[in-house]
Amino acid sequence: MIMPPIPTPFDAQGRLDAEAFRDLAQALEPHVDGILFYGSNGEGVHLTPAERIRGLEVQKPQKPPMVGLMEETIPQALEALQQAQIVGAKRVLATPPRYYAASTGNEGLLCYFTALADAGGPEVWLYHVPQNTKADLPLPVVAEAARHPGITGLKDSSGEMARLAFYQANRLELSVYTGHAPTFAAALALGAKGGILAAANLAPKAYKALLTAWRAGNVAEAQRLQARLEPFGRVLGQGGFVLLKQAMRYIGLPAGYPRPPYPQESPYWAAFKPLLEDLRAEGWLVG
């Protein structure tokens, strides 16, 4: 499965553009296996509850969607969990609470994820993205959470292969996906089933080709594609959602602008533009 965490479009004044959000999802969906709304690149943390609802109400997904939860407390998360059902999400992707991470402890993290899983709604997937949350998802917590029947998956965007090796070695009952494009092939070798990748907003065909080659046992082709795509994924990761939105606007997708105070243009654009153009020339981009 290749799934993009799609951006949430705002206009140049920072207002949610729900119609552009719908159009963007519909433009991307034919090229991927589903859409993640309000992931890290979806700026879910920049939305009010009312805006989250409005953004989901305009969507009409044809493939199974996923919704990100980036809340701090159980009541907040349960509200966001209920909102996810507006688009019929069967799964939610939940980061650990982070602002008071030093006080949460393993028991608090397990309490949080278990409360979501016990709510009887969508399945819960854990989301480890320490470069954004600045909070750890300890391996013992992952192993214990995996025992809950309502916690069924994990996205790991850290790029730490030792973590992927832990998941595989302990045979956790989780569907493991990577969010780190520069190590996609390595993650597949360590048991990942696919990628939930920011780069799939731009070049889903390329990452689907890599995944297809790996599944077919064509390791050499998968490695060749990974080497070809490594600079693209690495620089995009460095530029984050600001660069992603700029690149998507450049190729004609209605991704909008980052919400203030974040800049509209990325300092990584000069380095990324030629990589984008090269993939466009090779026919890998959306459209």
Active-site positions read 127, 155
Contacts of the segment 100-109: beta carbons below 8 A, 24+ positions apart: 100/72, 101/134, 101/135, 101/136, 106/138, 106/140, 106/141, 106/144, 109/137, 109/138, 109/141
Q: What angle do CA 144, 33, 79 make, to 5 degrees?
A: 50
The answer to whether residue 286 is domain-embedded is no
3-state secondary structure the chain: CEECECCCCECCCCCECHHHHHHHHHHHHHHCCCCEECCHHHCHHHCCHHHHHHHHHCCCCCCCCEEEECCCCHHHHHHHHHHHHHHCCCEEEECCCCCCHHHHHHHHHHHHHHHHHHCCCCEEEEEECHHHHCCCCCHHHHHHHCCCCCEEEEEECCCCHHHHHHHHHCCCCCEEEECCHHHHHHHHHCCCCEEECHHHHCCHHHHHHHHHHHHCCCHHHHHHHHHHHHHHHHHHHHHHHHHHHHHHHHCCCCCCECCCCCCCCCCCHHHHHHHHHHHHHCCCCCC
What pLDDT shows up at residue 222?
Answer: 97
Is residue 203 situated within a structural domain? yes
| CATH code for the domain in which residue 266 is found | 3.20.20.70
Predicted local confidence at residue 120, as pLDDT: 86
Asked whether residue 27 is domain-assigned, the answer is yes
Tokens of 158: 């850290």
> Does residue 287 belong to any structural domain of this protein?
no
- CA-wise closest residue to 35 among 55, 11, 12, 16: 55
Q: What is the number of other CB atoms lying within 10 angstroms of the CB of residue 116?
A: 23
pLDDT for position 90: 93
Residue 126 φ/ψ, nearest 5 degrees: -80, 150
Domain count of the fold of the chain? 1
Q: Which pLDDT belongs to residue 181?
A: 97
The token pair at 6 is: 């799609």
Q: Cα–Cα distance between 157 and 258 in angstroms, integer? A: 21
Residue 15 lies in a domain: yes
- Tell me the pLDDT of the chain (287 aa) as tens digits: 999 999 999 999 999 999 999 999 999 999 999 999 999 999 999 999 999 999 999 999 999 999 999 999 999 999 999 999 999 999 999 999 999 988 999 999 999 999 999 998 899 999 999 998 898 899 999 999 999 999 999 999 999 999 999 999 999 999 999 999 999 999 999 999 999 999 999 999 999 999 999 999 999 999 999 999 999 999 999 999 999 999 999 999 999 999 999 999 999 999 999 999 999 999 999 96
Q: Is 251 labelled as part of a ligand binding site?
A: no
Rounded to whole angstroms, the Cα distance separating 126 from 123 reads 10
> Each residue of 206-230: b (16+ CB within 10 Å) or e?
bbbbbbebbeeeeeeebbebbeebe
pLDDT of residue 209: 97
- Domain with 34, as residue range(s), is 2-281
Q: Any bridge partners for residue 10, and if so which? A: 16, 257
